[in-house]
Every structure is written in C-alpha cells, then in structure tokens.
A and B are shown apart, each in its own frame.
Chain A
Amino acid sequence: MSIELSRVSYTYSPGTVFETVALQEINLTIEDGEYLGLMGKTGCGKSTLLQLMVGLMQPSRGQIFVDGKDINGRDYVRAELRRKIGMVFQYPEIQLFETSVEKDVAFGLKHSGLSKAEAADNVRWAIEIVGLDYDKIRSVSPFSLSGGEKRRVAIAGILAAKPKILILDEPIAGLDPKGRDAFLDLTQKLNADGVTIIMVSHNADALSKYASRIIILDSGRLALDSPSKDAFKDLARLETLGVGVSQAREVAHLLSQCGFQTPADIIRYEELQPLLLSIARGGHL
C-alpha cells in the first residue's frame, strides 16, 4: 500500500483574478506501514495535499499513484480508493447524521460489498477499538453524546471500513490531554497492525513521539522530508517554516546553549530524561 506523488501541482481558480498556487512540483513516496507527520504553517498546502491523496480533488499537473495505479486515470475505480484510504477530517464529529451510533458507524460499509455479518463484526470492532462500550452505546442517538464520545463515534465510522491507509487532519485539536493520548495510542496500535498513518498536526510533541518521518510544506513546496529524529535539528530554519519543536527538543537546545553538550536529535522526553538525570547528578556529558 504505497502512495506515490509525481510532480504534483495544484492551482485554485486557474485563469481568474482569484488564482492561487497551492502546491508546486511535489514528489513524494509514502511506503507501507509508515507513520508520517505532515507539518507547516496555515495555508502551506497541507489540506490540499491530503485531499489530492484521497481523490477529492484532481491535481492540476502531475500524477498520484496508490499501489502503483494512477488514481486519476480513466479506468481507475474510485470505490477501490475509498476502501483503501480512510480520512479523518478536523472535528470529524460534525459528520454524524444517523439515528443511532451503530447505524452511523455502519454507514461507510453500505457500498463495501461486505456481508451483513461481516459488516456487523466490523462495526462492533470499530466501536470497541475507539474505547466505547458497544452494547451500551449502539442504539443511542449520536447527537445526545458528549463531545469526546461524538468524536470517537465519528472515528469509528471511518475505521469500520478497515482502511489500510489512515489520513488524519489535525485529529487531536480540541481534545483534552487524556483523550489526546488515548487517541494517539490508538493510531500507534493501528500502525503496529500495519496501517499506514499520515497525520497533519501542529503538535510537535505528538509527532515527535509517534511519527517516524516528518514532512514540512512551505508555500506549496516540499521544504523538508526526513526521519523524525533528524527533522527538528535546525531550529532557526524550522522557525522560518512556522513549525514548532517538542518540549524535549526545546530543553535540549537550551541546555546546549548553556554549554552542556547535548545531541541535536533528542526529540522525545524518554531520550532527554537520562541526560537530565546525569546533569542533575553533576556529570557533564
């Protein structure tokens, strides 16, 4: 399940006074099982990129291949793409509409060709994996749930189709720390089961902890593409790109400015902890 973008460009309202170039000459390959973090300031082209990948928009130029097939090719079956890729939009809870949680989660399976029993299994699995009690919640109206529960139901509705690639646009915005961690752990678990994760987030702590590769967009161009441990080294450059770094990286940087020798690839708290302990014990590395 790889995604390959070849010289992809996208222009909004071409040929009018409102013409804007959103993406320019993007070349990118995302392999099976990757956990990719996508960053960049507002308006850099992140959302456009995601929407091109799921086929909601067609590139102005260039091609996008999923599993080696051009998704905008004439004989490509869109339903195939819908089955493979799940997309969680920002504040996904607004997409709820059914009269019961169970029906809403099952909505995406309507045209999937699954048998009734298989579909019911998927629905149960999806509701349970997001941490909800299936028997208790299945026949409740989704509109009467709390905000956090609504979001879980919405995400279950996307997971129920068991996508092999999961694309997430700012999925943790507006969640409390506990809900955030629970959700990020869920993405990690899915990733461990072989699901490719592509996540847009401003939260550098989350991406440092979970993503294995970081991509940064700037004015529609690919500004950085590297393994996450190398992605946050050049703080001055990251600042011009409008991207923050994790607290651990921040502390390590402050320490190095104070004369402590700290490696520039510390991005997680677990990596920082031994260093802090040794400094506290009086040892200078």
Chain B
Amino acid sequence: MKSLPTGIFIPGDSPIHRLDSSIKLLALFITVVTIVLVNSFLGYVIMILFIMMIAMLSGISLPVALNATNKLYWFFIIILLMNTFFYSPEDAWFSFWVFTPSMTGFTYGLTVVLRVFLALVISNILTSTTPPMEITHALEHLISPFSYVGIPTGQIAMILSIAIQFIPTLAEETDTIRKAQMTRGARFDSKKITQKAEAVLPMVIPIFLAAFKRADELSVAMEARGYRGVSGRTKKSSRPLLVGDYGALLIVLLVCLLQIALRLINLTRTY
C-alpha cells in the first residue's frame, strides 16, 4: 500500500483510543442516529462542535480525520445540485424545462451533505482509533443478544474472526501472485471485454485456489481435532468497563437526548 488508506488504525494513547471498543461502537451508532435526527441550525452547530471535540480528544490530525471525505467532493456537489434543481418545484425561483431551482432544495441538499459528512468523519475517527480486531470483537459482543432469536451469532463471530485472521496472509499471497504473473508478462490493460476477463484470470484463479486450499487445510485440521461447530465458544476476556467508559456513553446519550429535545421544539421547521 503506497499511501495511507482512509480509516486505517493509527496507534496512539488518547482518551478516545483507551475507551472500551464496544462502548465506542455503541457510541458511534448513537451518534450517527443523532446526526440523522438533527433538523435545526442550532442542532447542527452542536453536532459539529461535539464531533470536533471528539476529534481533538482523539489526537487525530485534522487532515487525517477529514480523509474519509476526500474522494466524495463530487458526490457532495452532485447531491447539492440535484436537490437544488429538483427537490421543491412549488417554491422554485423560476422553472426551466425540468429544472426548478429553489432555496428549499438548496438547504435540503446542504443538510444531506452535512449529515453524510459528519457521519463519515465520526466513523473515520472510530476506525482510526480502534484496531480492526477490536471492532470485530465489539461487534460480536453487541450482536450476541440476537442468538435468542435463532441467529447463530457464535458461528457468525467465528467466521468473522477467522476471516480477519486470513486477511494479512491472503493479502500477501495475492500480492505475490500478481507480481509473479506480471514477471511472466501478464497484462491487465486489454481493451475488449472478453480480453479483460482473460487478463484477470491469471490473477483471480490462483488467488481463489490459494485461499480455498488454506481454508481446506484449516478445516481438515479443525475437524481432526474434533471440532464440529460452535457451542459456547470461550469469550475473549476484555478489561472491565471503567468510569470513563460509562461517562463517554452518558455524554453521547445526553447529546442524543438534547437533539431529540431540540427536534421536538422545532417540529414546525423541517430541514
């Protein structure tokens, strides 16, 4: 990987890094829901300040925190234009062919962009401050109640954690295969569609064979040791929750409640 991709874990020791990952994930869900609830100017100001505060606490630099939105500027502009021109034909400034530009549409577009933008930044902060392994453990933790309605959460968690363990190995293997085929003269730049498919065959078929071979070996090894399926897998013990964890969750809930209150007060205005 040549440049640092978006959302990659950056080691650190900030208060955000130290939070329990299940709490962090839960807090993210609540924050994203809260963002969707916001419908007033004051609400947005509070949300922006709140997320800025989290970003500062996390010690993630501003460019990195905004990284997630880098490639989406076109998406934002298109949403803004579409809404401006099509959203509200009733109070349009003027009407030309199918275009009905309106202030209502423009503000609506702006709020959509702002919501997506904030959700991206806050998710990016989570993935930058939490190792992927821990996020999965947190997810495993949070979905465990679903086992009562017949969803095999244990098995799903096992599949997910094996998948994550396979990622580095398979990434390395994939890289080797790509390089090996390139030194053999493979070209990936063909024009015709059928040639394009042919061009990736030398890469894709070995990747799947290598991956399935590893999977096959692992499953044989597991079955040889008498593994038949998941029942009561031993949970990875995590550290007990601290005051800080509860505090963080409380703050997020308070912000959420505040926004709900604002929304109730502000029912008449719909952004």
Decide if A and B touch, CB cutoff 8 A: yes
Q: For chain B residues 174-212, which have a beta carbon within 8 Å of chain A?
A: 176-177, 179-187, 201-202, 205-206, 209-210
* Residues A51 and B179 in contact, CB atoms below 8 Å apart: yes
Partner of B185, one of A16, A89, A108: A108
Per-residue contact bits, chain A 157-199, to B (CB 8 Å; 1 contact, 0 not): 1100100000000000000000000000000000000000000
B10 at the A interface (CB under 8 A): yes
B134 at the A interface (CB under 8 A): no
* Residues B209 and A143 in contact, CB atoms below 8 Å apart: yes
Check A97/B202 contact, CB under 8 A, given A17-B10, A79-B185. yes
Q: For chain A residues 69-96, which have a beta carbon within 8 Å of chain B?
A: 79, 82-83, 85-87, 89-90, 92, 94-96
Minimum CB–CB distance for B129 against chain A, Å? 13
* Residues A110 and B180 in contact, CB atoms below 8 Å apart: no
A107 at the B interface (CB under 8 A): yes
* Residues A95 and B180 in contact, CB atoms below 8 Å apart: yes
Q: How many angstroms from the CA of A87 to the CA of B187 in the assembled complex?
A: 16
Q: Give the interface centre of B179, B183, B206 by most chain A CB atoms within 10 Å.
A: B183
Q: Which residues of A contact B179 (CB under 8 A)?
A: 51, 56, 89
B149 at the A interface (CB under 8 A): no
B173 at the A interface (CB under 8 A): yes
* Residues A13 and B1 in contact, CB atoms below 8 Å apart: yes
Per-residue contact bits, chain A 89-114, to B (CB 8 Å; 1 contact, 0 not): 11010111100000000011111100
Count residues of B near A (Cβ-Cβ below 8 Å).
24
Q: How many angstroms from the CA of A90 to the CA of B210 in the assembled complex?
A: 14
* Residues A107 and B202 in contact, CB atoms below 8 Å apart: yes
* Residues A94 and B185 in contact, CB atoms below 8 Å apart: no
* Residues B180 and A97 in contact, CB atoms below 8 Å apart: no
* Residues B206 and A108 in contact, CB atoms below 8 Å apart: no
Q: Which residues of A contact B210 (CB under 8 A)?
A: 94
* Residues A110 and B185 in contact, CB atoms below 8 Å apart: yes
Q: Which residues of B contact A94 (CB under 8 A)?
A: 173, 176-177, 180, 206, 209-210
* Residues A87 and B185 in contact, CB atoms below 8 Å apart: no
Q: Which residues of B contact A204 (CB under 8 A)?
A: none
* Residues B1 and A157 in contact, CB atoms below 8 Å apart: no
* Residues B4 and A16 in contact, CB atoms below 8 Å apart: yes
Minimum CB–CB distance for B166 against chain A, Å? 15
Q: How many angstroms from the CA of A16 to the CA of B61 in the assembled complex?
A: 13
Q: For chain A residues 38-64, which have a beta carbon within 8 Å of chain B?
A: 51, 54, 56
* Residues A86 and B183 in contact, CB atoms below 8 Å apart: yes
B247 at the A interface (CB under 8 A): no
Q: How many angstroms from the CA of A111 to the CA of B186 in the assembled complex?
A: 8
Check A111/B180 contact, CB under 8 A, given A94-B173, A97-B202, A143-B209. no
Partner of A82, one of B10, B185, B206, B209: B185
Check A161/B201 contact, CB under 8 A, given A18-B4, A89-B180. no
Q: Which residues of A contact B202 (CB under 8 A)?
A: 95, 97, 107
Check A89/B4 contact, CB under 8 A, given A17-B10, A56-B182, A157-B184. no
B11 at the A interface (CB under 8 A): yes
Q: Which residues of B contact A17 (CB under 8 A)?
A: 4, 10-11
Minimum CB–CB distance for A174 against chain B, Å? 14
* Residues A111 and B206 in contact, CB atoms below 8 Å apart: no
Nearest opposing residue in chain A for B205, CB measure = A97
Partner of A158, one of B10, B184, B205, B209: B184
Nearest opposing residue in chain B for A54, CB measure = B183
Q: Which residues of B contact A51 (CB under 8 A)?
A: 179
Q: How many angstroms from the CA of A92 to the CA of B210 in the assembled complex?
A: 11
Q: How many angstroms from the CA of A54 to the CA of B185 in the assembled complex?
A: 12
Residues of B participating in the A interface, judged by any CB pair closer than 8 Å:
1-4, 10-11, 173, 176-177, 179-187, 201-202, 205-206, 209-210
Residues of A participating in the B interface, judged by any CB pair closer than 8 Å:
13, 16-18, 51, 54, 56, 79, 82-83, 85-87, 89-90, 92, 94-97, 107-112, 143, 157-158, 161
**Known contacts A82-B185, A89-B176, A92-B180, then 8 further A-B pairs from the complex at CB < 8 Å, ordered by chain A residue:** A16-B3, A17-B11, A87-B180, A89-B180, A94-B176, A97-B206, A143-B209, A161-B185
Q: Which 10 A-B pairs have the closest CB atoms?
A: A97-B205, A108-B184, A87-B183, A95-B180, A16-B4, A89-B180, A108-B185, A82-B185, A94-B210, A56-B179
